[in-house]
Structure 1
Amino acid sequence: MKQIQIVFLGAEKVGKTSTINQFLYGSFQDKTDATLGHCYSETVFLPNGIFQNVKIVDTAGSDEFPAMRRVNIKNGDYLVVMYAVDNRQSLDQALNLCQEIREIKGKDFNRIILVGNKIDKKDTREITTEEVLRKSISEGILWCTETSAKLNCNIRCLFQIILQDYVISYDLYGKSDKGVSKYKTNTKNSIMFKSKKLSVQNLVYSICSTTIPKNA
């Protein structure tokens, strides 16, 4: 079975390493060294009950090593693009990265997950959930969520987005030679997102979903 490769991208200090460590090892450190690039290879439990080997690539800040970044994007099956909700510049960099991904992978590539980390920093928050949802809709980004690596909030949900799509997209019994999710933005769902006031915490947002949680 093909190994899944998940690539984490984003500005420096948005919490890429902390998010990966929280998911894999259940650990968090307030201060981590700057990442020059690191790969994790672990076996995870898929939603359908099968174990699968996953490679997670933790990259340097988005302005560093552009040649290596392009290689990682090219090889990635899923691209997690992170920003910090208390740093507006990091969101701008994240949206630029989403554009770069489509320049490299093709304009129809839709396995991009936009993630706003550090929702525990309520007092210094600069970016609202609603703003990012609007931007996601306009950019055609199907998945976005908000997390706190420090509080372990929505970390597993982030990876569930990926693993559930993998189960849907790949025939685990070898009958399919295609691995690309074909989800498309649904206009009706987009209108629903625009008209609803969504909670900041504990939700995973997917524009390709057919429902919005009742507590939104």
Structure 2
Amino acid sequence: MHLLSSTQHPAPSQKRIQKGTGRETKEILSHREEQGSRPPTMSMEVKEKTEVRLVFLGAAGVGKTAIIQRFLKDTFEPKHRRTVEELHRKEYEVGGMKVTISIMDTSGSYSFPAMRKLSIQNSDAFALVYAVDDLESLVAVKSLRDEILEVKEDKFTPIVVIGNKIDRQGDRQVFSKDVLSTVEQDWNHSFLESSAKDNINVLEAFKELLLQANLPSWLSPALCRRRETFPKQSNKRPPMNKTNSCIIS
């Protein structure tokens, strides 16, 4: 079966990926869906929001909590901590208007289907996270995406697929080139790889989620201020194809 396949907002032209090969990944992503027309980057018919709810979904241990904590607090806890469900709220004031971002951190366990369904129903955009050193976690992404589309009844639901833990290159099982075409061309979602540990592409992931959720472009100053609270990136960080611009639009 083919793990990744349908239609949604394409990622930016510059790819934030790591090269590689992987026949097993291609087999996981082998099942293709019929493609629909590609939606615009931001719908002109949808009113810009001043409140948005983001949900992070994925198998246990892929780093959902680590990505969220890196964004909110610029911290990283190497020890895995099991999450049932945690809601984080961050409020910005831009141009005299309050903008609220709610981030739902969900359990990687399938023991709470009703809770997960409720989170999906009440959310605006989704981050589907897998770990590049865990092939099975990619299978979970396909299953979760199917559930999102079923619950939301909209194949154009804002979704960003994130391959986390690229700091573990020696243990990599999933290669970006085997995921990219399915996510961006067949599913029409955005795709990037990240490292919560090394703070790579964490901000980019949130910027893409907020953009797809139709938050107004004037939110960018708030994101800039959030970014300025982070320490400078290490010089050991691998070069990125896309710079850490604070401009959303």
Tell me what 2:240 maps to. 202
User: SS of 2:142's equivalent?
Assistant: helix
Kindly tell me the number of residue pairs found equivalent between the two proteins: 175
**C-alpha distance in 2, partners of 1:96/1:45?**
37
Structure 1 residues 62 and 81, CA gap change in structure 2 (3 angstroms): farther
User: Helix, strand or coil for the counterpart of 1:101?
Assistant: helix
Match of 1:165 among 208, 212, 234: 212
Aligned match of 2:177: 130
Structure 2 match to 1:90: 137
SS at match of 1:116: strand
Contact 1:113 1:141 in 2 (8 A): no
Other-structure match for 2:89: 41
Identical aligned pairs, as a percentage? Answer: 33
Mark the runs of 5 or more structure 2 residues left unpaired by the alignment. Answer: 1-48, 219-237, 243-249
1:13 alignment partner in structure 2: 61
In 1, Cα distance between equivalents of 2:70 and 2:216: 29
Is the 8 Å Cα contact of residues 146 and 201 (structure 1) preserved in structure 2?
no
Q: Is residue 2:65 matched to residue 1:27?
A: no
Change (3 A) 1:74 1:156: same
CA contact (8 A) 1:82 1:94 kept: yes
Q: Tell me how far apart the structure 1 counterparts of residues 158 and 122 of structure 2 sit (CA, whole Å).
A: 13
- Structure 1: which 5+ runs fail to align? 174-199, 205-216
Higher relative contact order (CA 8 A, sep 6+): 2
Alpha-carbon deviations, 1:10-51, whole Å to 9, x = none?
A: 0000000000000000000101320011000112478x9975
Give the Å deviation of 1:134. Answer: 2.2
Could you tell me whether the CA contact under 8 Å between 1:146 and 1:203 is conserved in 2?
A: no
- Aligned residues: CA RMSD: 2.5
Task: Report the CA distance between 1:109 and its aligned residue.
Answer: 2.8
Instruction: Give 1:137 deviation, angstroms.
Output: 3.9
8 A Cα contact 2:52 2:215, kept in partner = no
Deviations 1:103-139 (A, max 9, x none): 1111433301111000000000001111111221464
Q: 1:66 and 1:150 mapped to 2: Cα distance?
A: 29
- The more displaced of 94-103 and 135-144 is 135-144
1:105-124 paired onto structure 2 within 5 Å: 105-124=152-171
Shift of 1:53: 1.0
| Contact 1:145–1:203 (8 Å) recurs in 2 | no
Q: Which residue of 1 aligns with 2:128?
A: 81
- Quick check: 2:51–2:101 contact (8 Å CA) kept in 1? yes
CA change 1:165–1:124 in 2 (3 A) is: same
TM-aligned CA distance change 1:50 to 1:161, over 3 Å? farther
- Name the CA distance, whole Å, in 1 between partners of 2:204 and 2:99: 17
